[in-house]
Structure 1
Amino acid sequence: MFLAFRDLRFAKGRFTLMTSALFLISLMVVTLSGLTSGLGNRSIAAIENIGADHFAFGAPPDGRSVSFAESTVTTRQYAELAEADGVDAASIIGVAPARISVDGREVAASAFGVDGHSFAAPVVLGAGSVAVDADLANDNGWTNGTRILMSGKVFTITALVDDSFYSHQPVVWMDHDAWMSLPSAGGSDGTVVALRTSAGFDADSVGEATGTAVTDGRGALNAIGSYTSERGSLLLMQTMLMIVSALVVGAFFTVWTIQRGQDLAVLKAVGASTRYLLQDALGQSSIVLVLGSGLGTLAAAGLGTAASQSVPFSLTMSTTVVPFLALVATGMIGAAASLVRIAKVDPLAALAAAR
């Protein structure tokens, strides 16, 4: 690492510029990662928190994938699913848009109708009671006991539920029978049936027997339109930034290798092995990558912590450490492009240059 540390010490401007570029790329990647996770959570949190491992949708037309927006199920299908082999518990769930009015002020929400005593209900619900997302309640000054108006009917808030969102809207949990009376329910019995299953459950055969399309939890999340479209776009942006990072690092170290070609030739002439020079170059690359990407990750974490008060930002190991490691890995791949020139350095070049 002698040459690597010497270069870092005497070419501070160049390496500061490179570190700054990696800092900015890392800042953008980690920030996007946190926003991707945060936005995704605002679309799927209510479905994830139900705790079902499978969901039965109304069978879509041929060639179409399952979708919460287009699915309807009947109480007959629900009863058949509850009796199917391998099903430990089943709960019919209705999903519909709703308008909540309190003291003349209206807010939009998603109404989830469930059996108030089933596993799908976040709390026990009665005919005239509802549970609402805690953030929605705090934003509007609602508390337990607040009376709200939905579709001309009065309900009482009996519980506040943390992190309860669906398709970027806060969720209001209500009894299934009350949900069926909402005009936005369109007269349907429900949207999906949530299932808890055990070994021996065959999703395909159960779906065929009940006229439904049964999917696992991941498939159910992908059936939420806002989740798949947003996540796909943001992940593409992250991928592009990773590629840019690899190209920037590769270009920088390739040019840097060309410029210090004579130094490398001299080292080879006095006995340095090719392996030593390759290790030296990779060590130098790793120092710059870890420093630049690490500082960018820390800055993004701090920025995300502050921003999470007003925007959906998720700060976890998967949104900080994983992007940081991915940036270092892709950067090292880019830096490896310069190793070819190092391996081909001719020690006679040093003698020729000295003449």
Structure 2
Amino acid sequence: MPTRNPFRPSFGVSPRVLAGRGGLIDDFDLALDEGPGSPMRSVLVSGARGIGKTVVLGELEDRARSHGWLVLRLPEGPRLVTELEETVLPSLLTEHDPEAVQRRVTGGGLSPLGSVSTEVTERFPITESLTRMLARLAGIVGRRGAGLLLTLDEVQAAPPDDLARLASAYQHLVRDDEEVALAAAGLPIGIDALLEQPGTTFLRRAERIHLEPLSDDQVAEAAVATVRDAGRVISPEAVQELVRIAHGYPYLLQLVGYHAWRAAGRDEVITLADVRGTLPVVVERMGRLVHAPALRGVPPGQRAYLQAMAQDDGPSSTGQIAERLGVTKGNQNMQRTRLIDRELIVPAGHGLVDFALPYLREHLRATST
């Protein structure tokens, strides 16, 4: 009897069965063969939290490695360029540059002119730039018949100036026909901010891919395949309930499947009751890991708008929201637009809005007091 749980509800961990993203992965794989100039070598992936951006990056990295490419995961957060210049790139160059050791020995003064070389180096130290080190690394792997893939997750967490410097360095590599590719992922608001920076104009020509929720059929097929490959069966009714709870989100597909598998114990068949019982933990986990971070930094006026929406069991009337908040129609429209830009709400028909993220309504109700 199988016991190992095949579902993997950890953010960024590739599932055993990848649902709905095969076309994107295959297009990138083909671009690696097409050579410099292929449009799919520069990819910007956006989407809501839990939609599978990090998993897609991981799959792109795996495809690059299968071609023999070197994958460089760029540091996330506020020290992007600093860590690249001071730690990451020097370490990679030391590892991959066959002349690195020879240059260090020569610079140590072993030759008859060593003392002169040492004196000049000390008086006029040369600090390698991001562009120069990336170019040297790309050249090294290129001479081996491979390429260099740069990947960056959580684009919105990087300083705009660092992103501009990175884009400029990458542009130099592309213009020099180096075997390079770039795949970056982030929330839509982060990708938009990146492309608005003066120094990132070049990236506006990158392929912009917005990940949408999976279709019901894609969720169902992935759930059935995952369970079947692990030696069990999931009933048709349980599949339908899993689809309903998951709302097309790859993370929720894994989360519901994981807890339903556990609930089934040693039974061969995962039942409707096993899946239905996962709902409380799904709502709690989404609230803690997805909604709380998504709401962090949302201004009070927009939070109030969301709380007003949470009073409804379905789509909310914008006119009724304005009445509840005691604001003008213009103020309501402004808050609505900003929340749509944050991808927290979506238009749901004429004069109607709804929550964009599954179970955000339940989270707001639970945290309103």
Asked if TM exceeds 0.5, the reply is no
Higher relative contact order (Cα pairs below 8 Å, separated by 6+ residues):
1
Kindly indicate which of the two structures has a greater share of residues assigned to strand. Answer: 1
TM-score relative to the length of structure 1: 0.24
TM-score relative to the length of structure 2: 0.23
